[in-house]
Structure 1
Amino acid sequence: MKHQIGGHDESNFSYSYDLIEGGPLGDKLERISYENKFEAAAGGGSICKSSMKFYTVGDNVITEDEIKALIKGSEGVYKPVEAYLLANPEACN
């Protein structure tokens, strides 16, 4: 997979990037844009708010089931990172 970094904003704890090649793009998607923002959680820790935008090739249409599968695949990346950081809090320093 190939990603293109869109940017980051340290003061707002946010970053963006695009998936531009490979992975789940197949022949229907030109790219997927991701935006992530981290906020403090009320009970400690943080919350990551994410959004995804899908850009199709030509007149292709993505079904609701395909969108759900793409979201589930993205969540699969965050869960191991979360588990690692919870087990290794010193990694954040």
Structure 2
Amino acid sequence: MSDVQAWIKETVTNNPVVLFMKGTAQFPQCGFSGRAVQILKACGVQDLVTVNVLDDADVRQGIKEFSNWPTIPQLYIKGEFIGGSDIVGEMYENGELKAMLEA
């Protein structure tokens, strides 16, 4: 496992909610990342950890390999890959996301 993969694994394991995104929660750099942040805030997430993939090309590529998922943002809850913006949106609308966050 590369250093980047090890760091990603440690980050998603040690934090309850992690969003790999373009930009920051305060200043999202793409609409999909912004939407994911808004949904998580609407679910009442207080301790959201965000990783700006634009800061590091190795992390940007590494997270795609880690999850085997081609797009950003990527949401992890309790170490488990949940999905990207569309999946997070669908799970929010059907109540599944809030239930998972509260479990």
Q: What TM-score comes out, normalization by structure 2 length?
A: 0.28
Structure with the bigger percentage of strand: 1
Structure with the bigger percentage of helix: 2
